[in-house]
Structure 1
Amino acid sequence: MAHDGHHHHDEDEGSELSPIALRVKALESLLTEKGYIDPKALDVLIETYETKIGPRNGARVVAKAWTDEAFADWLKRDATAAIASVGYEGRQGEHMVALFNTPETHNMVVCTLCSCYPWPVLGLPPVWYKSMPYRSRVVIEPREVLKEFGIALAEDKDVRVWDSTAELRYLVIPERPAGTEGLTEEQLAELVTRDSMIGTGFAKTPQ
């Protein structure tokens, strides 16, 4: 397993929640008490950004890599520049590395000390990505964690776990599903899931 060492982090390593997250949580509680926001509506909004709006950027990058060999090569050499060329750059995406899944290798991403995540391409991190069980177990028993996500890999397939840091973030390029040869980039992007770009899932197969 690949396991990169941490340097310093943006988040507070001594707490499950960073100081900013704690302030946001306090503000949310106050606004809820005063009746200004509906927690259920807020949950739906956050879920939408986590699973639909946010990951669309990354899905477009993956679809372009599947259809454009030159772009895929650029991603392998300099993911930050390649991703920026299609308009996705900014804070927490300054230094990117693209990890290409192959028939022989499956890549997974974690942040063992906090929740470093490539916001420009994946949006908001899911709750489970920030949880201690995922952060601690995925580097020890990645295959078992994958099974809990419904992913069973062949025993001879190498599983590599990559540890994100404040300085370096990863984007998994999942394997292109079979039977998609005639699809456009836009259609292919619809098959790319957030979890497939973290490594805890596969791209969807066409209906």
Structure 2
Amino acid sequence: MSADHHHHDHDHLHGHAHGHEGSELSPTALRVRALESLLVEKGYVDPAALDALVDTYEHKVGPRNGARVVARAWSDPGYLERLRTDATAAIAELGFAGRQGEHMVAVENTPATHNMVVCTLCSCYPWPVLGLPPVWYKSPPYRSRAVIDPRGVLSEFGVTLSEEVSISVWDSTAEVRYLVIPMRPDGTEGMTEEALAALVTRDSMIGTGLALSPDEARKEGLLQ
């Protein structure tokens, strides 16, 4: 096993927050909702502007964009080659560009190599394709341990790799941001790009997760 660290010039690390409506909302989500209601009531926040902002990050800037990039790469060998050659331009073909995504590099997972992204200095992150960085990505434990003990960090995210798989850690900077292209799951032959995109998680594009299998996606309600 080897762990390569590439640099270009959690307590438990991974806390899932599956907020749903009503009583299933997490304590943090409940506090956010209460604060939002108070700000709207006091006239400090325009609900329409807030909805527009949420829509932007959910539909125009965020992991759904990255999932579309990955699904296209899985489906179109020509696009995958362009992504390898010039990820910034290839991503822009799908309309995803802008601040925090000017200089992109795509790294592919293979049966022999698993890629993982970190920003050891701060929290550089490709907003146009992944949205806002998760809290754990910015945390000192992740930023330090991803380089020192990537296999241990992956195990905390529920990812267990065989000792034969090497791990490459890519260090994002203000100049270069990375997007991991996870391996395409088995049993996905013939699936549409839209269906394939449902298998791509944010964590799989950072490298702290794997793409979902079709069965896993169905269990989470992401596929019919």
TM norm. shorter chain > 0.5: yes
Matched, 1:73 2:76: no
- The CA deviation string for residues 163-200 of structure 1, in whole angstroms up to 9 with x for no partner, is 00001000000000000002000000000000000000
- Per-residue deviation, 1:36: 1.1
- Per-residue deviation, 1:49: 4.8
1:100-119 maps to which residues of 2 (within 5 A)? 100-119=108-127
Q: How many angstroms apart in 2 are the aligned matches of 1:122 and 1:179?
A: 26
- Per-residue deviation, 1:3: 2.1
Aligned to 1:200: 208
Matched, 1:191 2:194: no
Change (3 A) 1:53 1:82: closer
Aligned to 1:87: 95
Contact 1:51 1:194 survives alignment (8 Å)? no
Give the 3-state SS of the residue equivalent to 1:3 in structure 2. Answer: strand
Give the 3-state SS of the residue equivalent to 1:172 in structure 2. Answer: strand
Q: Which runs of 4+ in 1 moved over 3 A?
A: 31-34, 48-53
Q: How many angstroms apart in 2 are the aligned matches of 1:34 and 1:151?
A: 38
Matched, 1:36 2:39: yes
Gaps spanning 5+ residues in structure 1: where?
Answer: 8-28
Gaps spanning 5+ residues in structure 2: where?
Answer: 10-31, 42-49, 216-224
Q: Please tell me the residue identity of whatever aligns with 2:107.
A: L
Aligned to 1:59: 67
Q: How many angstroms apart in 2 are the aligned matches of 1:149 and 1:37?
A: 37
RMSD across aligned positions (CA): 2.7
Q: TM-score normalized by structure 1?
A: 0.79
Aligned to 2:140: 132
Aligned to 1:13: none
- The CA deviation string for residues 9-52 of structure 1, in whole angstroms up to 9 with x for no partner, is xxxxxxxxxxxxxxxxxxxx9x94993159xxx9xx98x95899
Q: TM-score normalized by structure 2?
A: 0.74
Q: How many angstroms apart in 2 are the aligned matches of 1:49 and 1:181?
A: 30
Aligned to 1:156: 164
Q: How many angstroms apart in 1 are the aligned matches of 2:58 and 2:169?
A: 22
Q: Please tell me the residue identity of whatever aligns with 2:39.
A: Y
Matched, 1:146 2:154: yes
Give the 3-state SS of the residue equivalent to 2:210 in structure 1. Answer: coil
Give the 3-state SS of the residue equivalent to 2:7 in structure 1. Answer: coil
Change (3 A) 1:206 1:53: farther
Select which of 6, 22, 25 maps to 1:3: 6
Change (3 A) 1:73 1:99: same
Q: How many angstroms apart in 1 are the aligned matches of 2:130 and 2:6?
A: 21
Percent identity among equivalent residues? 69
Change (3 A) 1:52 1:102: farther
Contact 2:6 2:170 survives alignment (8 Å)? yes
- Per-residue deviation, 1:58: 0.2
Aligned to 1:10: none
Q: How many angstroms apart in 1 are the aligned matches of 2:151 and 2:40?
A: 40
